[in-house]
Amino acid sequence: MDGKAAQIGVALRCRWRRIDLSAVAERPETEIETVPMTDSQKQCGECSLCCKVLRIPELEKPKDHWCPNFAAGMGCGIYPDRPPSCQAFNCVWLTEPSLGPEWKPSISKMVLAGKPNLLMVHVDPGANRPWRTEPYYTDLKRMAAQGQKNGVAVLVVDRGRNIAILPDREMDLGYIDAQARVSFEIVNTAKGPEWRVRVTAAGESEPGPQGASDR
């Protein structure tokens, strides 16, 4: 059961336990932490969902809008000259052998992107909360449980809302201002290690660890 999540955890494992999403959000997709292609059987094929759900900084393409260079049935109109962000990107489904065909983004309607300490789940805004359906929800919970051990947080971004998937619950962080800081931190409790998530508005000082809240 945990084999699937375990392998994902290994692929994305990082040393640091604290994550500052604001720093991650500013990073162009070229800096996405990718892992070597390990499953040559997987191909993008008809899928182009990353051309819709990802922000492409070089093109000033916003998240959740089709790239103007994409045409249905034709694909990328500038493929040989596509920006570095596009050239560098491999979604986690492509690189993670344990993710089955149901996780292909054109089927799941979700693009998994690995960043340091973070597994982002970019949801197609045209889909109706697919991350809440099975088998995806159970898989995401497993990934969250493994991620808690390895210091990898799971964050769903669905039509602008940010939802942290935790092993025992989910936290709707809502619409987060671009200037806000979101941080994940693992703290040890009587029940074992748990994620603490907090959002700090622009200009607001961060509370110390003892003030951390998972509201």
What residues line the site for ligand SF4 (CB under 6 A)?
Answer: 44, 47-51, 56, 67, 69-70, 76, 78, 82-83, 86, 90-91, 93-94, 105, 111
Structural contact between residues 107 and 44, judged by C-beta atoms closer than 8 angstroms = no
d(CA 152, CA 12) in angstroms, rounded, equals: 7
Q: How far is the CB of 18 from ligand SF4 (least distance, A)?
A: 28
Separation of alpha carbons 40 and 8, rounded Å: 17
Residue type, 24: V
Q: How far is the CB of 76 from ligand SF4 (least distance, A)?
A: 3
C-beta of 18 vs 27, nearer to ligand SF4: 27
- Smallest gap from Cβ 7 to ligand SF4, in A, equals 18
32 or 145: CB nearest ligand SF4: 32
The nearer residue to ligand SF4, 105 or 151, going by C-beta atoms, is 105
Residues 157 and 163: their CA atoms lie apart, in Å, by 6
Of 83 and 114, the one with the shorter C-beta distance to ligand SF4 is 83
Other Cβ atoms closer than 10 A to 134: 8
C-alpha separations of 138 from 143, 160, 166 in Å: 9, 22, 12
CB of 202 to ligand SF4, least distance (A): 29
| CB nearer ligand SF4, residue 101 or residue 160 | 101
Least distance from ligand SF4 to the Cβ atom of residue 118, Å: 17
First and final C-alpha spacing in the chain:
30
Instruction: Indicate if the alpha-carbon torsion angle 11, 15, 19, 24 is positive or negative.
Output: negative
